[in-house]
Structure 1
Amino acid sequence: MARSARSDEEIKRDVVDQLYWDARVDASKVEVRVDGGRVRLTGALPSLLARRAAVMDTWDVAGVEHVEDAMNVIYPGGRDELTDDLLRENVLTALGWSPDLESETLDAQVKGGRVTIMGMVNAFWKKALAEEIVKGLRGVLDVANHLAVVPLHDMLDRTIAESVEAALERNALLDPSGVTVEVHDGIVTLSGLAESPAAARLAYLAATYTPGVINVHNQLVVRHYR
């Protein structure tokens, strides 16, 4: 259904309201600017998860066409007591506690609170899981995910594409008619139109959890509000 165009003032109002609604985000620390439906977030939040929540909240607002995350992470009290060596130990411990990850194949480097995850996993969703675990740790300012994905079994690109398409068809919240799925060497590219940012995320997750996938490029464009 077509929706009337929204002014930047309306979009900004709803983004600010959305941030204040979300208990994970200290909205008083975030500045919102909107220009032609493109939102820029600045400020400082106390964790990467809060920062991500602010971005996702913004995408959920009607009329938003792009979100620029220019926020920083500043931990309360600073990081003086948390050395990079201790943070690396915490990262490896947290990854090792996950029953879905093979900790012996994982490693990490830390420099100034910025974590690089290295090693190997056997599924793309596990690569994403490892990143989420690390982002939730105190003292982490940023995460670079360099994990290699090596599936346990080789799968034809055509088989992977058909599996992703079937997952999209089964999802009651998605209209797969506007989505094109292409797979090359296990790398999935989603293109076409999505009804909303939430629908684009659901399509991305459908590809993420499909066996044989080693990476997902989400190039879906959200339909403009007319």
Structure 2
Amino acid sequence: VKQIKNSSFVKFPTTAKILSDSQIEESIKKQLKWNDSTSRENIKVTVNKGEVSLEGYVDAYWKMFRAQKLASDVIGVVDIDNKLAVVPTEDIEDQVIATHIINAIDRSNLVKTEDVDVKVKHGIVTLSGTLPTRLLCEAALEFAYNTIGVKEVKDRLHVE
């Protein structure tokens, strides 16, 4: 599988209380403010017919996904367009990022470091190689997602 297109449509039960766009927006803003990982980030939230747009920037790749998850948990959200940019606060060399990812993989004992090729260019990580299961591919990707200095992760991992 190289790509999945989600064409599902969210329809709320007729008995469900449907929030207005302004209520959804306010709820998302509160969730982002109350969460330690997103409280100090520059995130603009807009909502139109339940479709949420997140714009601005965060300082770590994983925070982009955290903001999206927090927004998706709000009742009334039907779709999210995550336009957040990752702008690390520290300028970390690509080799240091690669080393941190390789060390995390090695410490995990889940994935063999020799099975994953880690390349980093300008903070953009590409993971390639072949692993026994998709679950192990996801584990390797998580290590990259959670590494400081990462701006983007490209998944080129394959399952045997």
Partner of residue 171 from structure 1, selected from 64, 84, 108: 108
Contact 2:68/2:82 (8 A) holds in 1 = yes
State the 1:172 CA deviation: 1.5
2:12 to 69, 75, 80: 75
Q: Are the aligned partners of 2:41 and 2:57 in contact in 1 as well (CA < 8 Å)?
A: no
Q: Identify the match of residue 191 of structure 1 among 104, 128, 138.
A: 128
Structure 1: where are the runs of 5+ without partners? 1-37, 39-64
C-alpha change, 1:87 and 1:192, in structure 2 (3 Å) is same
Name the TM-score, length of structure 2 as normaliser: 0.90
Which structure's relative contact order is higher, taking Cα pairs within 8 Å and 6+ residues apart? 2
Aligned partners of 2:41 and 2:58 also within 8 Å: no
| Preserved CA contact (<8 Å) 1:105 1:121 | yes
Cα deviation for residue 210 of structure 1 reads 0.7
1:124 to 61, 81, 98: 61
Residues 175, 195 of structure 1: 8 Å contact kept:
no
Q: Tell me how far 1:211 sits from its aligned partner.
A: 0.9
Match of 1:202 in 2: 139
- Residue 66 (structure 1) shift: 7.6
1:87 to 20, 24, 31: 24
AA of the residue aligned to 1:199:
L
TM-score between both structures, scaled by the size of structure 1: 0.65
Deviation at 1:78, TM superposition (A): 7.5
Partner of 1:46: none
What amino acid is aligned across from residue 121 of structure 1 in structure 2?
Answer: V
Q: Which amino acid aligns with 2:20?
A: T
Identical pairs, percent: 32
Give the match's secondary structure for 1:204. helix
Residue in structure 2 matched with residue 109 of structure 1 by the alignment? 46
**Contact 1:102-1:121 at 8 Å conserved across structures:** no
1:217 counterpart = 2:154: yes
Letter of the 1:160 partner, please give it.
Answer: I
Which structure 2 residue ranges, 5 or more long, are not aligned? none
Residue aligning to 1:62: none
1:146 aligns with 2:83: yes
In terms of mean alpha carbon deviation, does 104-113 or 187-196 score higher? 104-113
Give the whole-Å Cα distance in 1 for the aligned partners of 2:46 and 2:91.
30
Taking the aligned partners of 1:179 and 1:211, their CA distance within structure 2 comes to: 19
- Paired positions, count: 160
What secondary structure sits across from 2:8 in the alignment?
Answer: strand
Q: CA deviation at 1:73?
A: 2.1
- What is the letter of the counterpart of residue 198 of structure 1? L
- What amino acid maps onto 2:78 in structure 1? L
Distance between the aligned counterparts of 2:76 and 2:4, measured in 1? 25
Contact 1:127 1:149 survives alignment (8 Å): yes
Of structures 1 and 2, the larger Rg is shown by 1
Whole-Å separation in 2 of the counterparts to 1:141 and 1:151: 30
Aligned to 1:26: none
